[in-house]
Amino acid sequence: MGRWEPNARGRLAEAALELYAEQGFEKTTVTEIAEAAGLTERTFFRHFADKREVLFYGTELALEMLARAVAEAPASASPMDAVGAALESFGAFFQENPERVRRRDAVVSASTELREREMVKLDAFASAMVDALRERGTPERTARLAAEGGLAAFKVAYAHWVATEPGKTGRTGEQELPQLVRKALTELQELLTDHGSV
């Protein structure tokens, strides 16, 4: 195959995900990924720094998406509402390819190294939202509480969504991730209202 094969990045990512699911992240080599994609190791390293990056390469795009969504929230939106809007749109992004997201989650969950990397990524997501809130004039402490609280709600919704068998819906048909995120955010706000805020 030619070295400028179209969609090399996508093919490498798909091949890697399949191999990670079959034989585990630790046991899979870059050589195997490149061969499964019909490409060379050199091509792999043109697109990814290492085999972990195949699972995390969209992080920069996600950071921009979250920051932009917070920045574009109406001026009248509270910090929590701005974060909620950002996380719902983020959920819609995941919803576009649920099968791939679930396969990726299974691979990450099976590896201590990848789970640690995922935590670093989530911290970066929170920081991006904090920075965007501060640009809107939100004080640091309030921005941090809104971003971290919103991200906690997102993680609960995401875990529920990933664990739900594809094609199944709950009694209210709310298995789309953005709706689950909205519900988790509402429950968090109700919980704080019921027990008083910090």
Question: Mind listing the pLDDT tens digit of every residue in the chain (198 residues)?
Answer: 344 456 899 999 999 999 999 999 999 999 999 999 999 999 999 999 999 999 998 889 999 999 999 999 999 999 999 999 999 999 999 999 899 999 999 999 999 999 999 999 999 999 999 999 999 999 999 999 999 999 999 999 999 999 986 655 544 444 799 999 999 999 998 988 875 544
> CA separation (Å) from 102 to 53, 93, 114, 175?
17, 13, 15, 14
Give the SS3 label for residue 152: helix
What's this model's pTM, rounded to 2 decimal places? 0.85
